[in-house]
Amino acid sequence: MRKLKMIKNISSVLMLLALTISPVMADSTSTSDMSATKPNLEREKRMAVEVEDAVLDGDVLFLKDEGSKDGHEFMAIDQEPEDETKGAVIILHGRGFHPNWEDAIYPLRTQLPAKGWRTLSLQMPVLEKTAKYYDYVPLFSQAGSRIEAGIKYLKEQGIDNIVLFAHSCGAHMAMEWVRQKGDSQISAYIGAGMGATDYKQKMAKPFPLESMKVPVLDIYGDKEFPAVIRMASKRLEGITKAGNKKSKQVIVPGANHYFTDKGDELVAPIAKWLDTL
């Protein structure tokens, strides 16, 4: 009986230790893993070579990522309007793509200049092709320095009216930047296909839409991923709470998450909204 009682006491102590210590250990491991995740720069370099040769509209340039330890230079594509410039739109692509991606990104970066808006399409951090949403989460905060590099470049060109457009995974990166730095460096924000993740992978953090002071355009297709459509009312609620009267939510008929063959239908409402700012 005495041995049994001692075993029970030891078990209780071990359980107590597990409850108090293990969460800390789990958090420590998680933080370590996240800080160790780095963009696949070799893949970026390969993409840059392929993309640069294919760019016919706009100028390819390389901006310095001040947030990277080695001062990595990443690709961007700058296209100016032929006439008077109303402002500039920084464009962030989705997961694993590039700044000249044919769906969504190319139509925007090449058509908005015809409507008076300079575009600067940025290469965002990428991982290997098989990487999923949870793999990319640690990169969200690292992407902020690239956004700021784009803003710095445009300001050096004399442009202060800067709008940030972000699609899919780019929206997760943009929202993390807003969460950390606020939205004082931009004039407006456009999010397309916001909230896309992967099967059984929930969003790591809610979007900080209710805390944003600048006008927000939330745009998505009616053939979107279920999660994006399901979260639409929640996003609208956040936008409404923020209280900017110029903010709006728009649905593009017939468009899927990538706006495949719906580039014109994506550009039109965005250009119209930009003219209301």
The CATH number that applies at residue 73 is: 3.40.50.1820
215 to 6, 187, 190, 218, 242: CA distances (angstroms) = 65, 7, 9, 10, 9
Average pLDDT of every residue of the chain = 88
- Together in a domain, 17 and 79: no
- Together in a domain, 25 and 144: no
- Together in a domain, 147 and 266: yes
**In the predicted structure, residue 23 carries a pLDDT above the cut 80:** no
- Boundaries of domain holding 31: 1-36
- Together in a domain, 261 and 239: yes
- Together in a domain, 55 and 171: yes
Supply the pLDDT for residue 27.
33
Domain count, the chain: 2
Q: Could you read off the pLDDT of 183-229 as tens digits, one per residue?
A: 999 999 999 999 999 999 999 999 999 999 999 999 999 999 999 99
Q: Could you read off the pLDDT of 67-106 as tens digits, one per residue?
A: 888 789 999 999 999 899 999 999 999 999 999 999 999 9
- Together in a domain, 28 and 158: no
